[in-house]
Structures are given as C-alpha cells and as structure tokens.
Amino acid sequence: MEESYRYETIADRIMFWGETDPDTPAFIFWSPNGRYVLSRGGVFELASRFALRLTHQGVQPGDVVCVCIPNSPERVVVDFGVQLAGAVSMNGQILRSDCQDIIESMRKAKCKVLVIDPDETNQAWEMIRNHIHLVSEDPHMPTATSVGVPTLTNIAFCKTRKPDSVFIETLPQRTGRTTNKPIQNPTDVAYIFATSGTTGYSKLVQHTNKSLMLMSYRLTEATGLKDKHSKNLSIAPFGWIGGFPACYLFSGCPIVLIDDAAEAVADRLQYIWDVACKEDVTVCTLAPFQFMGILGRKDIWESSGKKLPMILTGGQPLHKEYLQTIGKLADCIFGLYASTEIGYAAGIAVSASNLGCYKDNMAGFLAPGVEAKIVDSKLASVGKETRGEILIRTETITSGYIEAPSKQTAILPEGWFRTDDVGYMDNEGCLIVEGRCSDAIMHGSYIIYPTWLEQKLAKCPGIKQNCFVPIPDKVLHHEICACVQLEEGVRLTKDDVINFVRGDIVDGVRSDMSVVPKYVLFFDTFPVTKTFKLDRKELARSAQLRLQLE
C-alpha cells in the first residue's frame, strides 16, 4: 500500500494539486449569486498570495492564526494560505453573546492573528472589536493589541459578504515560484479544531499534518472519493473536523459547498438537495437531521426524480428510521463513527442488499489501523456483546488539548482514548454505540453539556434550581428539556424561561445550533441518589414520562 501520505504535510498536498491539472475544479461554491469555481491552480495561487501577506506581517512557522469566517471561497484561500505560511490554523467559533468563548480560545492557543470580516453588518466583528485595539490603519492587516489575548499582533481583514467581497482582489502579487522547501514537518501541529459542543467554552483539539493526512486516506478509501471524476457535497463548517477538506487533499476530489457568506436561502434543505442533484455529487455529507428533514419533505425530492449514490453521515447513532432514505434519496447510507479527537474510527455502508442485517446504533467496522476495546468502570476489558465504555487507539488521535488538563486524562498511557461513549462489540466485530457515558445531550450535530446552561439559567430571578436533560427525538436524537424548581411564591411560565435563555444566545445562530430548550417542565422537587446527589437519569425519565402524558 502506498503510504507516502504519512510523510507529507497539508502544504505539500496544496502545492501538489496546484501543479497537477491546475485547471481542474477543486472547490465549487453555490449561492443565490450563482456558481463559483476555484480551480486547483487558483486555490494554490491565491492561498500563496495570502501566505505572503501573513509572512510580510511577521507570521512565523508554528504561529497560530484564528480564522473566524464562514464557508466561502475566501475561507479556503485563508485556511490554505495559513498552511502555506507554515502557521497553524485555528477555527474561530462564536456561540456566546459576549464572545468570551473565542477570546478565551485565542488566549489559550496564544493566537497571533485573527482573520475576520470587518463588514459593519457582521455581528461577530461588532462584538470582538470591543476586546481589540487597532494600532495601525493598514486596510488589510492592521497591527492590534488585546488585553484578553496578549499574544495578538494583527487582525487580517477578509471581506466575504457577497456580492461585494473584494478580499481576493486585494491579495499581494507573487513574484517567482513558491519554494519546495518544507516549512512544516509531518509531525508538526497543523490545525486546532474547536469541539462542536456548546459548552460555553469549546475544547481545543490539536492535530498534526500526519494525523490529518491519515484521516484523509482512510476517508477516501471508505467512500470511494478517489479522483477528480467524483464529487463530495459537504455542509459542515470548513473549520470543523467533519468539514475538513480531506478528500480533496488526498485524492484531488472536487468539493461542493454552500457559500455561507452570501445571502441566506429561504429553504436551506431544498437548496442543498437542488445543488446535490445539479452537481451530480457522488457523496453528499449531511447530518442525520438534515437528510431526515429532506426525506420528510416529499416536495423536495420526489419532483427531482433523482437519487444520490451515497449519503455520508455521522455525529450521532444511526437508527433504522434514517435508513428509510435508502432507495429514495440514495442508494447507500454510510454512517461514520468519528470524533474531533480521533477522526474517522469506524463506519458502515448500508444499502438494500444488507439492510435486513442492520440493527440500531451500529457504528460499523473499524477502519484499517484502528483498535477498539470495551472496558468496565475499572478499565478492565470485557467480552463481546458486553456493554461498557469504548476505548479507541489510532495514529490519528489528537496530539493533545490546549489548556484542558482535566481532559488530558482521556488519553491513557498506552495510547487508548476514552471516548465517553457506551456500547459493545458484537460477535461479528461490529461496533455498537448506544450513547454517552456522561449526561451530555446529543442535539443534532451538537453535543451540549448541561452544566453551562444550568449556570446560565440559575441567574434567572425566581428559579431555585434547574437541570437540563435530554428527551429522545427521532430527528435530532435528543431535544433539550429544562427542568425547573421555583422559589416559593414565584410564578414563571415556559415562555419566561425560554426568553431568559435566549437572551444569552447569539442572535442569528442557526436553529440546529441553538441551545434554547424546546421543553420546560416545573417540578416541586428533583429526585436524588442514595448519596443525596441529583439523579439526572431519573429526572430525565420523569420528564420523558410527563411529556408523553401531556
């Protein structure tokens, strides 16, 4: 097996494809403004020019650049430019209305540059600028300081708003050919991903060039996205591990994306399906709630008369309801078991030929080079068909969290990663994942840790105690339920609670990212364990029963 990818960096692959069939499409963007294509050569040229801007302002190999712009041609140019400069790209994610999440992440990562759209309608910039002092008047990359981020030296302005974006036109011209001398080594950190959980402060997960290239190889092998004649439609944000352009970097497969910097479409599900059909994509990567949403809208897919070869999904356990899409939306559903920390670890392709063998929560068979074991509470291995915590060992495991010492214990001395998932290995060697060991709420693509939400709601006048629990949902896997105890004599309604929570959520966040509870239930008392601790599981069962009776 060819394993040269183990010794290549992300920058090596950007350069390789830029010089191999340079006119071949690399990234295809759709928006109400039309279809925009970045060729392989165009990506390399523009990213090289952004890398030049960074290095001219003193960015050195290993420096961290936080990228806070949406999926767009500009995002590709910026992310790849950071790699060509030898720097580390960090995803800038804002989910808190006070933007302290991104400020704290930049501080922890010792961020040197922030890339952001300075458009006056960009709420992210309006919030962040209160924490930053611009020192110079450079229109493209002014020097800057920040009390919250002492290492910050520059802001790179990147106007993405369509149709008036001018960022690409402002990039400096190159003279001569980019050197082939490697700036990074395969074992150097290339990306810092923020976990998708809305915990108040995301965990920062580091990955090396080597681990990302190995992930890219495994995903390409599993999906068949092996050359320029196949296409992958991806809806995930570019800076998430699930939106990382793995197949392009490894095989040169074109990636189709929605330009989120353009005007939003009224019916996003309809738009996604239309783009997938118009582009004749080979693999369409969707969250389960997205393709279930499309399946439930016959007006979307019946009139098209088309069916996709494969829908790729992950992020939560698959249920048999999701497989109703086989034969209607796609010939095959490929379920991935993956995480930000370990990448793609297992998967299963379900089609009409093996649908009868599928059982709920199948994560699939381990990817080549991945090991798994199921352990009890003392971390001792258990046999097949026996439930326990799932441990994974793989070369793609994160090189570590940034400033999260309590999370470092998730990586055991022998290289095993504690997934915090509960499940078992069946007699055929298939991994079954039944949910989280902890109390996390799996809400669509997001993992919501309730402690942060509870701290927020505790500030609401009149609330004595609160607890957020998951309620089973066929589309999102879990809906959010706020269980509330009121102080004596206080009267609050469901709407009062929801409005209070909504006040701490960034306006304009997509509905699938929202942490606003769907349900609010009022209790006189909460159940407790024998040691007088809150019994979350019993409370969740009580909430579910009450909602079924209402």
- What pLDDT does residue 179 have? 47
Task: Give CA–CA dist 454/230, Å, rounded.
Answer: 46
Residue 472, preceding peptide bond in cis (omega within 30° of 0): no
Q: Check if the beta carbon of residue 86 is closer than 8 Å to that of residue 183.
A: yes
Please tell me whether residue 437 adopts helix, strand or coil conformation: coil
The one-letter amino acid at 173: Q
CATH code given to domain 4-209+231-249: 3.40.50.12780
Q: Check if the beta carbon of residue 216 is closer than 8 Å to that of residue 5.
A: yes
Position with higher pLDDT, 292 vs 71: 71
**Identical fold, 4-209+231-249 and 283-436:** yes
Interacting residues of 188 by C-beta distance below 8 A, sequence separation 6+ = 9, 61, 62, 208, 209
Write out pLDDT tens, residues 377-388: 899 999 999 988
For residue 330, what pLDDT band results from cuts at 50, 70 and 90?
very high
Averaged confidence pLDDT in the chain: 88
Write out pLDDT tens, residues 246-277: 999 999 999 999 999 998 899 999 999 999 99
Instruction: Let me know if 309 is exposed, middle or buried by CB neighbors in 10 A (0-12, 13-18, 19+).
Output: middle
Report in angstroms the alpha-carbon separations of 277 from 116, 252, 274, 330. Answer: 32, 21, 5, 11
- What pLDDT does residue 200 have? 53
- What pLDDT does residue 198 have? 43
- Is residue 419's pLDDT more than 70? yes
CATH code given to domain 283-436: 3.40.50.12780
Strand-strand pairing, 144-145 and 88-91? unpaired
Q: Which range is most confident: 152-166, 428-442, 506-520?
A: 152-166
E-assigned strands of 71-182? 88-91, 111-116, 133-134, 144-145, 154-157
Radius of gyration of the chain (CA): 23
Task: Give CA–CA dist 171/239, Å, rounded.
Answer: 22
- Encoding tokens for residue 257? 């994306």
Backbone angles phi, psi at 436, to 5 degrees: -90, 145
- What pLDDT does residue 506 have? 44
Write out pLDDT tens, residues 421-470: 888 999 999 999 876 777 778 888 776 767 778 877 888 999 999 999 99
Please tell me whether residue 100 adopts helix, strand or coil conformation: helix
The CATH class, in words, for 441-549 is alpha beta
For residue 110, what pLDDT band results from cuts at 50, 70 and 90?
very high
- What pLDDT does residue 341 have? 93
Domain boundaries, the chain: 4-209+231-249, 283-436, 441-549
